Amino acid sequence: MKNFLLKYKSLDGGSSFGLMIFRLAMGGMMLTHGIPKLLNFSENMQSFRNPIGLGPEISYLGAVFGEVVCAVAIILGLYTRLASIGLGFVMFVAGFIVHADDPFSRQEKSLLFLTACILLFFTGPGKYSLDSKVLR
C-alpha cells in the first residue's frame, strides 16, 4: 500500500475522481433538504420565512431552486460553478441570516454546505463531469 501511495502521482486523475465523489455526496445530501420542499411546495410556500425581504413565495422558490436544481446540476457536473453560486447564496442566507441568532450547532450544516460550494466554485467539477464533456 505504501508503494502505491508513493508511486501514485496522477494528481489530475485522482483529484478529478475525488471531486466527482464530493459532488455526488454533496449534491445528494442537499437533495434530502430540497426534495421535501419541492413535494410540499404549495403547502409551505405561504408560511416560509422572508429572510431578505423578497416575500415568502420568492424566498421559497429560491430555496427550492438552489436545493434541487442547483444540487442536481452539481451532481451532474453541469454548469457547476454557476450552480455553486446559486446554492451557495441559499446556504449563506440560511447560515448568516435565517439562523443568525441560533447557536452554532444550528448554523453549522448550512455553513458546511456553503464551504462546499466555495470549494466547487474555485476547483470546478473535475474531468468526470458534464462540464468537461459538453462545455469544452
Q: How does pLDDT run across 8-60, given as a tens digit for each residue? A: 444 565 888 999 999 999 999 999 999 999 999 989 888 899 999 999 999 99
pLDDT for 136 beyond 60: yes
Grid cell digits, residue 35 = 426534495
Residue 1 has pLDDT above 60, yes or no: no
Is pTM beyond 0.85? Reply is yes
Give me the mean pLDDT over the 57-83 stretch. 97
Task: Pick the closest to residue 97 from 125, 124, 106 (CA basis).
Answer: 106
User: In this model, does residue 72 exceed pLDDT 80?
Assistant: yes
Residue 56's contacts (CB-CB under 8 Å, 6 or more residues apart) are 45, 46, 47, 48, 49, 50
Query: Residue 72 and residue 80: Cα distance in Å, rounded?
Result: 10
**Residues in the chain, overall count:** 136
Per-residue confidence (pLDDT) for residue 6, from 0 to 100? 47
Average pLDDT over residues 55-70: 96
Q: What letters, b where the CB count within 10 A reaches 16 and e where it falls short, cover 38-65?
A: eeeeeebbeebeebeeeeeeebbbbbbb
- Residue-wise pLDDT tens digits, 83-133: 999 999 999 999 999 999 999 999 999 999 999 999 999 999 999 999 988
What does the pLDDT read at residue 130?
94
Separation of CA 131 from chain center: 16
What's the pLDDT score for residue 122? 96
- What cell was used for 81? 460553478
Is the pLDDT at 73 greater than 70? The verdict is yes
